[in-house]
Amino acid sequence: MKLDNLARVDLNLLVVLQVLLEEQSVTRAARRLHLTQSALSKNLTRLREMLGDPLFQRTARGLKPTAHALQIAERLPGTLEKLYELTQPPGFVPASSERQFSLAMVESTYETLVPQFIGPLLKAAPNIRLNSYVWTENSMQDLVLGQLDFAIAGRDLHPHSRFKVENLAEGIEHETLFTDKQVCLVREGHPALQAQAAGYWDLDYYLSQSHVQVRCEGNEWWALDYHLAKSNQRRHLSATVPDFYGAVSICAHSDLVFTLPSSFARHACKLYPLVLLPLPIDFIPLAYVLLWHSRNNSDPGHQWLKQTILAKVDQVVNSDLVSSDLPESD
């Protein structure tokens, strides 16, 4: 496209041409355009100069389009319609939209949250495409650069996390989806279950065990480990793995203890013969947070997707996603 040539074109003249093609009369065209016949005649002269063609011949029955004008008439209505659409406020119709949206999420939400909103989203908008990625240390920057539409992250998984609510990158907004507490998973028959029944499932016993840990944002320590380190205490991490499912499987086939958010722990118990135990220490809850960039706040499609996610997550949170029948720790 030669924009320098297009800049010299008066696009208003294309509207005049379309009306002339429809009316094939200077009088009727002038009336529709609220112009005098003299002004319309001047516009027609400019059109002829701009397009290098007479465009119309005067006859007893009005204006007769030339061959070139008839060729233009085949494409001009569609062109004007597209120009008109460009001038309208943005709109979004879920049922007919073919937009693509990208989301990055911490792994634990794929089983606990995504199933809650993926169905309603695709039912309302069957032709959209959702591209999802695992949350990494680069996801926040991807949001800033516009490479992601949304992200669901765990707040303050460790002190060196790139995501802290009080120190978000400029333009990044957030809304807390729900808060969750840390719990422990052990296999059925694990000695810790006897300790819990006997009343000595406490911090000392917990620290005496070997643990499996999920690596988050490339870091092997979670917020709990930094918290313990302040008191010169440390868990013995016998295995560190890249994903929750790997950790759950190891936990089910060994004596390793897995500490994780309760929402995923409850899901894991449906897959493996595992038992939930309370974390034997008072510890701050983990918040799952929806993130987006403020540049998209006026985008109807973006707003629709955000509100759908928030509404569906709120429904499941108010049911039993994060409820727990765990015994309290001593």
pLDDT, tens only, 112-123? 888 888 888 999
Element holding 73 (H helix, E strand)? helix 67-86
Percent of the chain predicted with pLDDT > 90: 58
pLDDT, tens only, 50-73? 999 999 999 988 899 999 999 999
Q: How confident is the model at residue 327 (pLDDT cuts 50, 70, 90)?
A: very low
- In this predicted structure, the answer to whether residue 160 has a pLDDT above a threshold of 50 is no
Four-residue CA torsion sign, 321, 326, 328, 330? negative
pLDDT (0 to 100) of residue 214:
92
Number of residues that this document lists for the chain: 330
Mean pLDDT for the stretch of residues 73-81: 89
- In this predicted structure, the answer to whether residue 158 has a pLDDT above a threshold of 60 is no
Ranges of each domain in the chain: 3-86, 102-180+286-317, 182-278
pLDDT (0 to 100) of residue 108:
83
pLDDT (0 to 100) of residue 94:
93
The first and second tokens of residue 251, run together, are 């936990």
Would the CATH topology of 3-86 be identical to that of 182-278? no
* CATH class assigned to 182-278: alpha beta
pLDDT (0 to 100) of residue 222:
82
Q: Does residue 169 sit in helix, strand or coil?
A: coil
- In this predicted structure, the answer to whether residue 167 has a pLDDT above a threshold of 80 is no
pLDDT (0 to 100) of residue 45:
94
Query: From CA 292, how far away is CA 86, in angstroms rounded?
Result: 25
pTM for the model? 0.67
- DSSP 8-state symbol, 296: G
Q: How far is CA 22 from CA 3, 13, 159, 188, 317, in A?
A: 28, 14, 69, 81, 59
Q: Alpha carbon 172 to chain centroid distance? A: 13
Assign domain 3-86 one CATH number from 3.30.365.10, 1.10.569.10, 1.10.10.10, 1.10.357.10: 1.10.10.10
What ranges make up the beta strands (E) of 141-194?
A: 150-155, 172-180, 182-187
Least confident of 98-107, 136-145, 237-246, 313-322: 313-322
Domain 102-180+286-317: CATH superfamily is Periplasmic binding protein-like II (3.40.190.10)
Mean pLDDT for the stretch of residues 262-290: 91
Percent of the chain predicted with pLDDT > 70: 89
